[in-house]
Amino acid sequence: MENLPYGILGVGAIFCAYRAMVSQRLLSATLYLAGVSALVSVVLYMLGGQQVAVIELSVGAGLVTVLLVYALSVVGEDSRDSISVIPKPLAFTLVGLSIILLGFMIFPLLEPSVDVTSFSLTVVLWQQRVLDVWIQIALIFSGVLGVLGLLSEKIASTEKRGEVH
């Protein structure tokens, strides 16, 4: 029963990863990938890797998502090719093997219980890793401001030309 949260988070991450692969819109796929990163960071935190979880959350779910959304806004959403690079039977086989290997790697973790209650998120973020957190906040904030600045320039230039989208 103590492993139920890991199972729920794992199923959620697999669902988000699947939705990212089959999504027809690239923006939706980007948001699902951010969900995968957020769920994986929660699992890492629960397993005792607080620093890795914070970095995964800020970089994977934060900065990478902002950069992908910016790239999509600049380039635009192109239609995807319906032809897959990897044949579906091979893809399903590789996914199945990955799940089996992941099960073998997780199985030893189910026996010993790790006490992660001695670390609180507040202590890890604001006492042990405060400099890293402030740097990551500054990077994400500057990335968002850069994206907003570039988008406003694009909108202003199209309004000058009289174009309407």
User: What DSSP designation does 49 have?
Assistant: -
pTM, rounded to two decimals: 0.54
pLDDT for the residue 24: 83
- Per the model's pLDDT, the better-predicted residue between 85 and 25 turns out to be 25
Looking up tokens 């000058």 gives: 160
More confident residue, 79 or 129: 129
Q: Which amino acid is at 31?
A: L
Q: Give residue-wise pLDDT tens across range 40-90.
A: 888 888 888 888 888 888 888 887 887 787 777 777 766 555 566 667 788
| Rounded CA separation 58/40 (Å) | 12
Domain ranges across the chain: 4-160
Q: Amino acid letter at 135?
A: I
Mean pLDDT for the stretch of residues 17-46? 87
pLDDT of residue 158: 62
The fold adopted by the segment(s) 4-160 is Four Helix Bundle (Hemerythrin (Met), subunit A) (1.20.120)
pLDDT tens-digit readout, 85-113 = 667 788 778 778 877 877 776 666 555 55
How far is it, in rounded angstroms, from Cα 15 to Cα 67?
23
pLDDT given at position 67: 78
Is the predicted pLDDT of residue 149 greater than 60, yes or no?
yes
Q: What whole-number percentage of the chain has pLDDT above 90? A: 1
